[in-house]
Amino acid sequence: MVGAANVLAPAPREYLSDGTAGRGLEGRAEAVVRPGSAEEVAAVLAHCYAEGVPITTRGGGTGFAGGAVPQGGIVLSTARMARVRAFDPLQWRIHVEAGLPTAELRRIVRGSGLWFPPDPGAAEQSQIGGNVATNAGGPHAFKYGTTRAWVTGIEAVIPPGEIVTTGGPVRKNVAGYDLVGLLAGSEGTLGIVTAVWLRLIPAVEAALPIAALFAGLEAGCTAVEALMGSGVVPACIEYVDEPALAATGHDFPGGPPGRGFLVIAEADGSAAEAAAGRAALREALAGAGATWIATPSGDDIPALWRWRDSISPRVTAVRGGKLAEDVAVPVDRLADALRGSAEIGARHGVETMSWGHAGDGNLHTSFLVAPESADDHARAEAACEELFDLALRLGGTITGEHGVGLLKRSHLADQLSPAAQRLNAEIKRAFDPKGLLNPGKG
C-alpha cells in the first residue's frame, strides 16, 4: 500500500519512545509504516481496522506524555506527508500536510511577512500534526492562544478508513458540533490528522521583552497579577523560581540577575506600541517591588529567549535527569501551587525546580533525579502524584500543555467528573469503536 521501502520491520528503536525516554518509557510495535498521502493513510487504517491491528500515529516524536509510544501493532509515521498544499498570503492562510515540521511552517509564512503564533519548544523536530494532536502552546499562548485557536479546518482519516474533512479555509464556521476542536488535542485517539488549514496574522513589527527580579515567589506572583492589571496585554508572562534561577541564572544575557524569582514579560505590536507597552509593563513591575529590571535590546533579545529555552536541559544537567510536569492552575493560585510543589519535593527528599508560563498558571515543576537511581525515580514519581492532586485541589488541571498520553492516563479520572468520563468514552466509541487508535492512551 505504501511501497515496501516505507515499511520498516522490525520497528527501529527510535520509533518506540518519545520525549519521555528519560523517564524510561519504551513501547513495542511490529512495524513502522510511512504513508505518503491521505489516501495511503486511509488504506493502511482500513487494513488495520479489518485485521484488528492497533495504530499509534507518530509526528516528530517530541511529546512529553508518552502519546507516541506504541503499545503493540504499528507505528504510523506522518514524516513523508510534509507538503504545502496551498499558501495564500493575501488571505492570511495556509493549507499544509500534517508532517510539516513546525519551524519550517513558521519560516515559510515568515517569508511573506506573516506569523503563525503558536510557539511550543522543540519546533525543529515537532510537526504541525503533532502540535494539533496535542493542542500545543508555548510562552505566547498567553496572548495568542494554543494551536487550536489557529486551526480552521482538519482533514483526518477516521475508522474504518475514511478521509473526512471538517472546517476548511473558512474563518468562521459554527455548523454542527466542533469536530475541529474535538480532534485538536485528541492525541491520536480519534483519528489520524493528515492535513490542516491554518489562519495566520501579519508578523508584529516589534516584540520587546522585559525581565525583573523579585525577592521571592510571593512578590513574584504579585508582580504577575500587577502585569495583568497594567492595561497592556503582554505577549507572554514567564517565571523562573529561585532554585531554577540559582541553577541557570549565572549567564543570564545582559547581566546576572543574581538570586531571586524572575519574571519575564514581553510587549509587542508596532514599534511604537511595543515601546509604550513595555514602558507600562516596566511601571507595573517596578510598582510590584522589583529589585532589578532589564529591558534588553538588539542581540540581547534573541539571547534572552535562547537562555529561556536552555532552562529545561540545564535543569536536567544538574543531576542528570528530571521528572518534569506541566500542571496548570488558575493564575491567582500560582503562588499556592509553587509553594506546594516545593513542599512536596522537600517531603519526598527530591530537589525541586520550577519555571513556566506564569500568565497561564502553567508550571513546569521538575523533580531532579540521578538517571540510574531507582530510589530517586520512585521518590520523584511519588512527588508527581502529589503534584497532580495539588493542581486539582487548586482548581487546575493535571496537564496544561503536554497532554495525557501514557503518563497521566491513570489520573484523568481524578480530574473528570463521572459524566465527563462517560462523554469522553462515548466520543471515543463514536470515532473508534474497536479502540485501535492509540490504545491505552487518554
Ligand X SMILES: Cc1cc2nc3c(=O)[nH]c(=O)nc-3n(C[C@H](O)[C@H](O)[C@H](O)COP(=O)(O)OP(=O)(O)OC[C@H]3O[C@@H](n4cnc5c(N)ncnc54)[C@H](O)[C@@H]3O)c2cc1C
Residues that bind ligand X (CB under 6 A): 18-19, 56-64, 67-68, 78, 98, 120-122, 126-127, 129-131, 133-134, 136-138, 187-188, 192-193, 312, 401-402, 405, 438
Output the smallest distance, CB 156 to ligand X, in A.
7
Residue whose CB is less far from ligand X, 191 or 253: 191
Cα separation, 361 vs 358, whole angstroms:
5
Q: Where are the alpha helices (DSSP H) in 98-236?
A: 102-110, 128-134, 141-144, 179-183, 217-228
CB of 118 to ligand X, least distance (A): 8
Tell me the DSSP string of 394-440.
TT-BS-SSS--TTTSGGGHHHHS-HHHHHHHHHHHHHH-TT--BSTT
What minimum distance in Å lies between the beta carbon of 311 and ligand X? 10
Q: Which is nearer to ligand X, 155 or 351 (CB)?
A: 155
Least distance from ligand X to the Cβ atom of residue 438, Å: 5
For the chain, what is the total number of helices (H) and then of strands (E)? 13, 18
CB of 236 to ligand X, least distance (A): 11
Cβ–Cβ < 8 Å for 359, 349:
no
Q: Is 107 left (phi over 0), alpha (psi -120 to 50) or beta?
A: alpha
Pairing, β 74-77 against β 31-33: parallel
> Which H or E run contains 198?
strand 192-199
Radius of gyration of the chain (CA): 22
Question: From the CB of 377, what's the least distance to ligand X, in Å?
Answer: 19
Q: How far is the CB of 131 from ligand X (least distance, A)?
A: 4
Residue 27 or 260: the one with the smaller Cβ distance to ligand X is 27
Please identify, using beta-carbon distances, which residue of 280 and 412 lies nearer to ligand X: 412
Q: How far is the CB of 195 from ligand X (least distance, A)?
A: 9
How far separated are the first and last CA of the chain, in Å rounded?
A: 29
CA contacts within 13 A on the Cβ side of 12: 9
CA distance 317 to 128: 29
Evaluate whether 70 touches 27 at the Cβ level (below 8 Å).
yes
Q: Which residue has the cell 478521509?
A: 163
CB 166 within 8 A of CB 139: no
Query: Residue 287 Cβ, how far from ligand X at the closest point, in Å?
Result: 30
User: Which residue is at the shortest CB distance from ligand X?
Assistant: 130
Q: Least separation, in Å, of the C-beta of 298 and ligand X?
A: 25
Provide the minimum distance between the beta carbon of 350 and ligand X in the complex, in angstroms, as a whole number: 21
CA distances (Å), 217 to each of 13, 315, 359, 397, in order?
42, 19, 14, 21
Of 214 and 431, nearer to ligand X (C-beta) is: 431
> Please, which residue, 138 or 253, has the CB nearer to ligand X?
138
Closer of 18 and 376 to ligand X (Cβ): 18
**Residue 100: CA count within 13 A, CB half-sphere:** 23
The neighbouring-strand residues paired with 76 are 33, 57
Backbone angles phi, psi at 101, to 5 degrees: -60, 145
Sign of CA dihedral 428, 431, 432, 438: negative
